[in-house]
Amino acid sequence: EFSTLRPRGAYVSGAGAYTSGPLSFMDIYDKMCFTVSSAGGRRGAQMGTFDVAHPDAREFIRVKREDGRLRQFNLSLLITDAFMQAVAADADWPLLFPVHIKEQDEVVLDDPAQVIWREWPTHENYVTRADGLVACKIYGHVRARHLWDMIMVSTYDYAEPGFILIDRVNEMNNNWWCETIRATNP
């Protein structure tokens, strides 16, 4: 699950630099997987999942259009019920990422135009409320139906990304009380 990595261009205060984004890390995993063979000489396969609300979601959808890129990966978007409702309503969809505790003075946490509070797979080093929701900075908006159309065209033309109805998966998870599923086996 690569959408827990900061979006491309996000500032890393501890390093004094800007991130290259999650797709560059996926490139590293892809090359490593290509280099290491499985038993019988078969190359490895990896599953790369990505939250549909991540600021780099559009790049994730288009990444396999680049010749030779991420060939050892099966790619799928984590599609939420909220996204599907936004598609049906042809609403704007926020692209967001958690606010690091060192960055909390850079946003107004109670301004819904800047921050959305939502569930997130990890809370460590992120601004978190008492109810467990994480403050997520809004990086921009896209029409949900436009993003859906991008997914469908890419899936039809390039066979990826797939999509995982992640809220449904977790509703049906027998271990709901101790885990949250964010990826599957490729």
pLDDT tens string, the chain, 186 residues long: the values are: 999 999 998 887 777 888 999 999 999 999 888 887 666 667 778 899 999 999 999 999 999 888 888 888 899 999 999 999 999 999 999 999 999 998 889 899 999 999 999 999 888 999 999 999 999 999 999 999 999 999 999 999 989 999 999 999 999 999 988 988 988 887
**Residue 122 half-sphere exposure toward CB, CA atoms < 13 A:** 12
Instruction: Round to whole Å and give the CA distance between 26 and 31.
Output: 9
pLDDT attached to residue 10: 87
pLDDT attached to residue 40: 64
**Domain segments of the chain as ranges:** 11-92+142-171
